[in-house]
Amino acid sequence: MGFYGDLVDLPLADILYVLSSHGSSGRLTLSIPGDEITLVFDRGHVASVTTTDANLRIGRLLVDQGYVTEDQMEQALALQAVELDRTRIGDVLVELGFVNSRQITRAVAAQLEASLFRILIQPGGSFVYTPQESYVEEPLVDEIPIEPIVLDAIRRADEWLATNGRQEAVSLADVPFREGVLEGLESVEHETLLAIVNGAFTPADIAARIGSSSEEVDEILGRLAALGLVVRAGKTDPANHPAG
């Protein structure tokens, strides 16, 4: 039986514990502003992780960890593109002999921890779990134990929140813009909206994309929020968030 809801009501750690302890098989999709992460469970173990964040994709992590070179990754991506039945870059890399299954497992474990950490420092978020009787695709990785990875992600998130507070999430307002409001915006405000459209979902992301300071971005977002163009959610004061 599937289930869904908000991560505020059912914490991520509890969801993962239930799926792991019950030996569940299925897909858990976690949605936060700017990213969607899907964990495929095979009898209670994580078989694969996918994310819309390019920096957390398995190929990028394998390059960052030094397991493959940029040239090898480009070669694997080119082969994946012409083989229509090929869905996972890890399969291609193993077939080409660039990595072995143990290296893939380590990269997926790192991908899982980084993804969980990102979710834990975000405000809100939602989840959908869809069960399936058996995992039809052969798992690419060896069994990855969930508990130590979850505990490490929670520890890192608590340390980060104690210093920085929970990240503020920024998104476009989910209502039609008032007629003429866009024409009255300054160029930097247009740039800010464009940055959000293109995937920036925190003030820090926006500041990096438009080349402004965090103080300037805070003022810009304040004006855009007052005009009903953006929604700001969830930043907490680090002084009010005790470390776990």
In this predicted model, what pLDDT tens digit does every residue of 108-144 receive, in sequence order? 888 889 888 888 887 678 999 999 876 545 555 556 7
Residue 131's nearest CA partner among 10, 52, 13, 29 is: 29
In this predicted model, what pLDDT tens digit does every residue of 205-238 receive, in sequence order? 888 889 988 889 999 999 999 998 988 876 554 5
71 and 184 fall within a common domain: no
151 and 235 fall within a common domain: no
The pTM of this model reads 0.65
Stretch 17-22: mean pLDDT, rounded? 90
Which of 147, 164, 181 represents a domain boundary (last residue)?
164
CATH of the domain at 212: 1.10.10
Q: Provide the residue range defining the domain that includes 63.
A: 3-164
94 and 214 fall within a common domain: no
In this predicted model, what pLDDT tens digit does every residue of 31-90 receive, in sequence order? 887 678 998 888 888 887 888 877 778 888 889 888 999 999 999 988 888 876 666 788
Nearest-5° Cα angle at 110, 104 to 116: 135
Query: How many angstroms separate the CA atoms of 172 and 33, rounded?
Result: 10
201 and 115 fall within a common domain: no
185 and 72 fall within a common domain: no
Residue 28, classed as helix, strand or coil, is strand
Query: How many angstroms separate the CA atoms of 181 and 183, rounded?
Result: 6
190 and 71 fall within a common domain: no
Query: How many angstroms separate the CA atoms of 70 and 152, rounded?
Result: 29
90 and 197 fall within a common domain: no
Q: How many domains does the chain have?
A: 2
Residue whose tokens read 């700017």: 34
